[in-house]
Amino acid sequence: MTSLRWGAVTDVGRVRTNNEDSLLVESPLFAVADGVGGHAAGEVASAIAVATLKTVFGAEPSRDGLADAVRRANEAIYDRAMEDPNLRGMGTTVTAVALVEEEGDDVLAVVNVGDSRAYRMRDGELEQITDDHSLVEEMVRAGRLSAEQAFTHPQRNIVTRALGLQADVEVDCFGITPFEGDRFVLASDGLTDEVPDPEIASILRRVTDPDEAARELVELAKANGGRDNVTVVIVDVVDDNGRAVKASEAIAAAPAKAPPVVERSIPAEPEPEPDPDRGVRAAHPPAPVEPAPRRRRFTLKAALFLFALIAVLAGAFFAIGLFARGSYHVGIHDGEVVIYQGRPGGLLWFDPTVKVRTGISEADLPPAFATDVREGKEEPTLAEARQYVKNIEDARTPPPTSSQATTTTTTAPPP
Ligand code: MG
């Protein structure tokens, strides 16, 4: 059983008169919603979002249940806006995490719509784990804007996806394996527009108590301007039921194979080396139940390295497969000319497969083509392979002569 500890703060900020953010702290479910709309409609939208999340996820506490809860929240807000002219056009973001059980293990399900964010701090490194559905973040992902430019961009508050604006909504949903010492943060843009990520990370490293850390983050956002409502939810994994230790031991026992229990824990990128000067562990110690954090950390690191190695090997296997299957050739199959996908004779364990039968028998091959086809005539694309076959067909049936063409036109009777 994974144990969590959490803290949360929401604040109207220093400019707005009402707080349109809503939060939900109902372990194992945590959410932040940032509402928009005039006449306090934003408050209504974000409140409906978290209330629907609580009810629907409560009835089906799974990853799918969580994604479904977000879609149901969208419908509820949309329907309400349709009924009440004062609420028309209201919408809200929602970012939520929930601890769910999958195949006997605990997984943290994450859902997101809009530009509120979820972060994970692991070993002192802060990583945003959700994609913002906002104009500027899409420009950042497309390489047209740097993260620094996005932070100050005048249009940074334009969201490209939100709940309540349309009858249907696309929901980002994924799961991550929670490890002891992980710290997850949900935040509305009132935090992330005012406080750059490195400063968020610094507070998260320094302040162990989740409530206290959330309060400090909100205070910093207000000190930096507080132009929007600010909401922060922090969820700490204080016990992972020995998951990290077990993963390491399983790797040590069977170094050649990755056991199924660790599949989900392969990181997106290799763990960066911790800065020894930063004193990560000292600044953010895990729960006191862990007797030997350093040893566990080392074995976890070794395990992660091995997973990364396996991922690289899998990638190489996949790349060879792509290369082997990435071209076509015209050859012979059972006395018939065919187009194969794959390289002549195959490559490693990838045999070519018949893609197109042409109906041309090997015996009918024009001499100019026979040798090439018997050896396997390689073509980079299917279209080029088809063109090569067409060339064979053209060579077998000579084009009509000019005299034949003349005959057909002149024999037609005049009108
Ligand atoms: Mg906001």
- For residues 280 and 39, what is the distance between their CA atoms, to the nearest angstrom? 46
Give the mean pLDDT of 15-35: 97
Q: From the CA of 92, how far away is ligand 1's center (Å)? A: 9
Q: Is the confidence at residue 290, as pLDDT, over 90?
A: no
pLDDT per residue as tens digits for the range 379-410: 888 888 999 898 888 888 765 544 444 333 34
Q: When comparing pLDDT for 401 and 306, which is higher?
A: 306
* pLDDT at site 413: 46
Q: When comparing pLDDT for 197 and 300, which is higher?
A: 197
Q: From the CA of 190, how far away is ligand 1's center (Å)? A: 5
Q: From the CA of 188, how far away is ligand 1's center (Å)? A: 6
Select from 159, 142, 144, 234 the least CA-distant residue to 193. 159
Q: From the CA of 55, how far away is ligand 1's center (Å)? A: 24
Q: When comparing pLDDT for 124 and 257, which is higher?
A: 124
Question: Where do we find the tokens 């409530």?
Answer: 211
Average pLDDT, the chain: 85
Q: When comparing pLDDT for 315 and 258, which is higher?
A: 315
Q: From the CA of 138, how far away is ligand 1's center (Å)? A: 18
Q: From the CA of 169, how far away is ligand 1's center (Å)? A: 20
Of all residues in the chain, the percent with pLDDT exceeding 70 is 85
* pLDDT at site 325: 77
Q: From the CA of 78, how far away is ligand 1's center (Å)? A: 19
* pLDDT at site 254: 66
Q: From the CA of 116, how far away is ligand 1's center (Å)? A: 8
Give the mean pLDDT of 76-84: 96
Q: Is the confidence at residue 31, as pLDDT, over 50?
A: yes
Give the mean pLDDT of 43-61: 98
Q: From the CA of 202, how far away is ligand 1's center (Å)? A: 22
pLDDT per residue as tens digits for the range 125-159: 999 999 999 999 999 999 999 988 998 888 888 89
* pLDDT at site 251: 75
* pLDDT at site 327: 84
Q: From the CA of 67, how far away is ligand 1's center (Å)? A: 22
Q: From the CA of 168, how far away is ligand 1's center (Å)? A: 22
**Residue 412's pLDDT band (cuts 50, 70, 90):** very low
Select from 45, 54, 62 the least CA-distant residue to 24. 54
Q: When comparing pLDDT for 67 and 371, which is higher?
A: 67
pLDDT per residue as tens digits for the range 226-263: 999 999 999 999 999 888 777 777 777 765 544 444 43
Q: Is the confidence at residue 299, as pLDDT, over 80?
A: no
Q: From the CA of 104, how far away is ligand 1's center (Å)? A: 37
pLDDT per residue as tens digits for the range 262-275: 434 434 444 444 44
* pLDDT at site 409: 39
Q: From the CA of 30, how far away is ligand 1's center (Å)? A: 18
